[in-house]
Amino acid sequence: MVRTAGEACDVLLRDGGVARIRPLRPADREALHELIARSSPRSAYMRFFTGGAASAHAYMDRITGPGYHGHALVALVGGRVVGVAEYIADPDGSEAEVGILLDDAVHGCGLGTLLLEHLALDAADEGIEELVATVLPQNRAMLRVLNDLGLPVETRYDDGQVEIRIATRPTERLVAEIEARAHEAEHNSIAHMFTPESVAVIGAGRHEARVGHRVLRNLIDEGFPGPIYAVNPRATEVCGLPAYPDVASLPGPAELAVIATPAPTVLGIARECARHEVRALVVLTSGFAEVGNREAERELLEICRQAGMRLVGPNCLGVVNTAARLNAGFLPTPPSPGPLGVMSQSGAVAAAMIERAGQLGLGISSFASVGNKADVSGNDLLEYWEDDPATRVIGLYLESFGNPRRFARIARRISARKPIIAVKSGRSAAGSRAVRSHTAAAATPDVAVDALLRACGVIREDSVQDLLDTARLLAFQPLPDGPRVAIVGNSGGPQAMTADACERLGLVVPELSPATAEALRPRLRPAAAVGNPVDLTAEADAGDIAFAIATVLADPGVDAVLTVYTPPFGSGLDATREAIAAVTRNAAKPVLACLAGHDELVDGRVPAYAFPEQAVHALARAAAHAAWRARPPASREDLPGIDSAAARRIITADLAAHPHGRWLDEGTAARLLSAYAINTAESVPVDGPERAAEAASVVGLPAVLKAVGPGLVHKSDVGGVRIGLRTPDEVRQAYREMADRLGPAMTGAIVQAMAGEGTEMIIGGVAHETFGPLIMVGLGGVATELLADRAFRVPPIDRAEAARMIAELRCAPLLYGYRGRPAADVAALEEQIVRVGRFMDDLPDVAELDLNPVIVTPDGAVAVDCRVRLAAAPPLPSPFRRRLR
pLDDT digits (tens, 9 = 90+) for 554-590: 999 999 999 999 999 999 999 999 999 999 999 999 9
Measuring CA to CA, how many Å separate 244 from each of 199, 309, 414, 633, 853? 13, 22, 43, 55, 73
pLDDT digits (tens, 9 = 90+) for 76-103: 999 999 999 999 999 888 999 999 999 9
Q: Where are the domains of the chain?
A: 9-170, 189-472, 478-630, 644-753, 759-870
> What's the whole-model pTM score?
0.91
Average pLDDT (429-453) is 66
Average pLDDT (167-193) is 92
Confidence of residue 202 (pLDDT cuts 50, 70, 90): very high
The answer, yes or no, to whether residue 595 has pLDDT greater than 80, is yes
For the domain bounded by 478-630, which CATH number is listed? 3.40.50.261
Average pLDDT (860-878) is 89
Ranking 258-267, 571-580, 812-821 by mean pLDDT, the lowest is 812-821
> Which residues, other chains included, contact 791 with Cβ-Cβ below 8 Å and sequence gap of 6+?
776, 777, 778, 805, 806, 808, 809
CATH domain 759-870 topology: D-amino Acid Aminotransferase; Chain A, domain 1 (3.30.470)
Average pLDDT (849-859) is 95
pLDDT greater at residue 427 or residue 803? 803
- 109-138 burial, b at 16+ Cβ within 10 Å, e below that, comes to bbbbbbbbbbbbbbbbeeebebbbbebeee
Provide the H-helix boundaries in 631-688: 644-657, 666-674
The answer, yes or no, to whether residue 144 has pLDDT greater than 60, is yes
Query: What CA–CA distance (Å, rounded) separates 670 from 666?
Result: 6
What are the start-end ranges of the E strands in 572-702?
591-595, 600-602, 606-609, 662-663, 684-686
Residue 299: what pLDDT? 98
- To 5 degrees, how large is the angle CA 873–CA 879–CA 882? 120
Q: Phi first, then psi: what are they for 549, rounded to 5°?
A: -60, -50
Residue 773: what pLDDT? 94
- 169-202 burial, b at 16+ Cβ within 10 Å, e below that, comes to ebeeebeebbbebbbbbbbbbbbbbbbbebbbbb
Residue 790: what pLDDT? 94
Query: What CA–CA distance (Å, rounded) separates 48 from 71?
Result: 18
How many alpha carbons fall within 13 Å on the CB side of residue 744? 0
**Type of residue numbered 35:** L
The answer, yes or no, to whether residue 162 has pLDDT greater than 60, is yes
Confidence of residue 430 (pLDDT cuts 50, 70, 90): very low
Residue 783: what pLDDT? 75
Average pLDDT (428-455) is 68
Ranking 47-56, 137-146, 366-375, 714-723 by mean pLDDT, the lowest is 47-56
Q: Residue 788: which H helix or E strand, with range?
A: none
Do 839 and 849 contact (CB within 8 A), yes or no?
A: yes
Q: Judge if 189-472 and 478-630 fold alike in CATH terms.
A: yes
Residue 427: what pLDDT? 61
The answer, yes or no, to whether residue 5 has pLDDT greater than 60, is no
> What class has domain 9-170?
alpha beta
pLDDT greater at residue 635 or residue 192? 192
> Which residues, other chains included, contact 30 with Cβ-Cβ below 8 Å and sequence gap of 6+?
none
Q: Residue 129: which H helix or E strand, with range?
A: none
Residue 437: what pLDDT? 61
The answer, yes or no, to whether residue 622 has pLDDT greater than 80, is yes
Confidence of residue 739 (pLDDT cuts 50, 70, 90): very high
Which residues pair with residue 773 across a beta bridge?
A: 767
Do 738 and 811 contact (CB within 8 A), yes or no?
A: no
Q: Residue 533: which H helix or E strand, with range?
A: none
**What is the length of the chain?**
885
Average pLDDT (166-188) is 91
Average pLDDT (437-464) is 85
Average pLDDT (153-171) is 89
pLDDT greater at residue 43 or residue 76? 76
The answer, yes or no, to whether residue 432 has pLDDT greater than 50, is no
Do 781 and 455 contact (CB within 8 A), yes or no?
A: no
Which residues pair with residue 844 across a beta bridge?
A: none
Confidence of residue 300 (pLDDT cuts 50, 70, 90): very high
Do 412 and 479 contact (CB within 8 A), yes or no?
A: no
pLDDT digits (tens, 9 = 90+) for 635-676: 778 899 999 999 999 999 999 999 999 999 888 999 999 999
Q: What is the DSSP letter of 391?
A: -
Which residues pair with residue 622 across a beta bridge?
A: none
Measuring CA to CA, how many Å separate 196 from each of 17, 190, 258, 339, 382? 14, 10, 12, 20, 18
Selected from 1.10.1040.10, 3.40.50.720, 3.20.20.70, 3.10.20.30, the CATH number assigned to the domain covering 189-472 reads: 3.40.50.720
pLDDT digits (tens, 9 = 90+) for 681-717: 999 999 999 999 999 999 999 999 999 987 776 787 7
Residue 438: what pLDDT? 62
The answer, yes or no, to whether residue 294 has pLDDT greater than 80, is yes
CATH domain 644-753 topology: Dna Ligase; domain 1 (3.30.1490)
The answer, yes or no, to whether residue 159 has pLDDT greater than 90, is no
Residue 435: what pLDDT? 40
Average pLDDT (818-836) is 94
Whole-number percent of the chain with pLDDT over 70: 97
Residue 402: what pLDDT? 76
Q: Which long-range contacts (CB under 8 A, 24 or more apart) does 863-866 make?
A: 863/673, 863/678, 863/679, 863/680, 863/681, 863/763, 863/832, 864/680, 864/681, 864/704, 864/752, 864/755, 865/706, 865/715, 866/666, 866/669, 866/670, 866/673, 866/680
The answer, yes or no, to whether residue 768 has pLDDT greater than 90, is no
Pairing of strands 606-609, 364-369: unpaired
pLDDT greater at residue 755 or residue 268? 268
pLDDT digits (tens, 9 = 90+) for 304-345: 999 999 999 999 999 999 999 999 999 988 999 999 999 999
Q: What is the DSSP string of 271-313?
A: HHHHHTT-SEEEE----SGGGT-HHHHHHHHHHHHHHT-EEE-
Query: What CA–CA distance (Å, rounded) separates 661 from 659?
Result: 5
Average pLDDT (46-69) is 85
- Of the candidates 539, 418, 557, which has an alpha carbon nearest to the alpha carbon of residue 482? 557
Do 528 and 537 contact (CB within 8 A), yes or no?
A: yes
Query: What CA–CA distance (Å, rounded) separates 773 from 451?
Result: 10
